[in-house]
Structure 1
Amino acid sequence: MLRIGTWRSAESVDVVACGWRDSGPGQPRTGIKLIYGIDGRPIPDLDGLRVATLVARGAEEIAELLFDGADVVFTAPGCCPAAPVVAAGIWHYGWTRRDRGALAGATVAGLALAAQPGPCSVEIWPDGRSSLDGDVTTAAVRACLAAHFSGGRYRTPEVTVPLESVRLSQEAPSRIGIALSAAAR
């Protein structure tokens, strides 16, 4: 399973840290990967880490840099807020454009994660199902998602997700399950 989290504070850059508890296809790639959004704030000193020299503009570019061995990837302003989560799934599970259900699930999980104001995490399974952990409720997550879905759909270069396909369930006071109906596949 793939676990992705954020931490935010006024003095830091937003960060998505991806930790692995299992291995994906090919050689095992375990550890921590950092994906920073560049938005004019100073970039922290990252001595000892392999920093990508290119700034990624979307999920496929982020994943490509992770496949190339980068420990840290920077994203351009205006990058899809779900892109880091989708990219981590592509890198970890080896998803391709044929894995529409998994990509759609990761897109919804990424949007839900990006909308949270404080520390939060998602766990993503190989089929794209996920759970969101933090100070969250289904009503708040549904409202955040609805704000992103123009005309009832969210489009990325990889997939289009209809809002009516999103299934949220409050699994615990601080945990929401995220799944998609067959309409998103």
Structure 2
Amino acid sequence: MLRIGTWRSAESVDVVVCGWRDSDSGPFETGVKLIYGAGRPMPEFPGLRVGAPVARCAEEIAALLSQGLDVVLTAPGCCPAAPVVAAGIWHYRWTRGDTGALAGATVAGLALAAHPGPCWLELWRDGRGSLDGDVPAAAVHACLAGHFPDGRYRTPEVTVPLESVRLSQVAPSRIRIALRPGAVTT
């Protein structure tokens, strides 16, 4: 499982990515990685490898994480879902062929980015996720709908139809995020 969290203050890190071992076997990298919006005042990160290039998309963020950087800077205007999609690519080694997982991570990333306060997202290998924060599923769905102006959200990797998004309130502060199988296109 991959755990991704946010802080929401002007002077803090935007996204913190923590990976840990799944029940699946195979190669595994773990650690805390920071994905930070460029152009903001950035605190000192002593002992961490900070990336000089500014990433413009999920694949660039993932490539920098895979190169061993601890802090990756993102360009202004970067897709709000890109940090979560990149974390999935880095942690699970997803490729463009993993359309279902990429689409699920895209929706989870948009939900995380729309959350107004600090929160956590758990992301599984297949792209399903759970958002932990103090917001109801209906409010998350309304925020997501704003990102789907024509009923679809397009990234370089996938196109996600809004009608395929499934949100369920599984606890007062926990929302499960999934997609209807087969609804994603490349």
TM-score by length of 1: 0.94
Distance in structure 2 (CA, Å) of the matches to 1:159 and 1:44: 34
SS in 2 for 1:132: strand
Distance in structure 2 (CA, Å) of the matches to 1:160 and 1:44: 36
Query: Match for 2:142: what amino acid?
Result: A
CA contact (8 A) 1:122 1:130 kept: yes
- Deviation of the 1:20 alpha carbon: 1.4
Partner of 1:105: 104
CA shift digits 1:36-82 (9 cap, x unpaired): 012x3211111110111100000000000001000000000000000
Partner of 1:130: 129
Rate the CA distance shift 1:25–1:74 in 2: closer, same or farther, 3 A: farther
SS in 1 for 2:110: helix
TM-score by length of 2: 0.94
Partner of 2:73: 74
CA contact (8 A) 2:13 2:34 kept: no
1:85-124 paired onto structure 2 within 5 Å? 85-124=84-123
Distance in structure 2 (CA, Å) of the matches to 1:150 and 1:25: 40
Partner of 1:50: 49
- Deviation of the 1:151 alpha carbon: 0.2
Share of identical aligned residues, percent? 72
- Deviation of the 1:176 alpha carbon: 0.2
Rate the CA distance shift 1:103–1:80 in 2: closer, same or farther, 3 A: same
CA contact (8 A) 2:37 2:76 kept: yes
CA contact (8 A) 1:7 1:16 kept: yes
CA contact (8 A) 1:25 1:92 kept: no
Distance in structure 2 (CA, Å) of the matches to 1:14 and 1:56: 16
CA contact (8 A) 2:108 2:129 kept: yes
Question: Structure 1: which 4+ aligned runs deviate by more than 2 Å?
Answer: 23-28
Partner of 1:7: 7
Distance in structure 2 (CA, Å) of the matches to 1:117 and 1:82: 15
- Deviation of the 1:14 alpha carbon: 4.4
Unaligned runs of 5+ in 2: none
CA contact (8 A) 1:6 1:17 kept: yes
Partner of 1:184: 184
Unaligned runs of 5+ in 1: none
Distance in structure 2 (CA, Å) of the matches to 1:65 and 1:53: 10
Distance in structure 1 (CA, Å) of the matches to 2:102 and 2:87: 11
Distance in structure 2 (CA, Å) of the matches to 1:43 and 1:106: 26
Query: Match for 2:184: what amino acid?
Result: A
CA contact (8 A) 1:13 1:41 kept: no
The alignment's C-alpha RMSD in Å is 1.5
SS in 2 for 1:49: coil
Distance in structure 2 (CA, Å) of the matches to 1:18 and 1:137: 23
SS in 2 for 1:87: helix
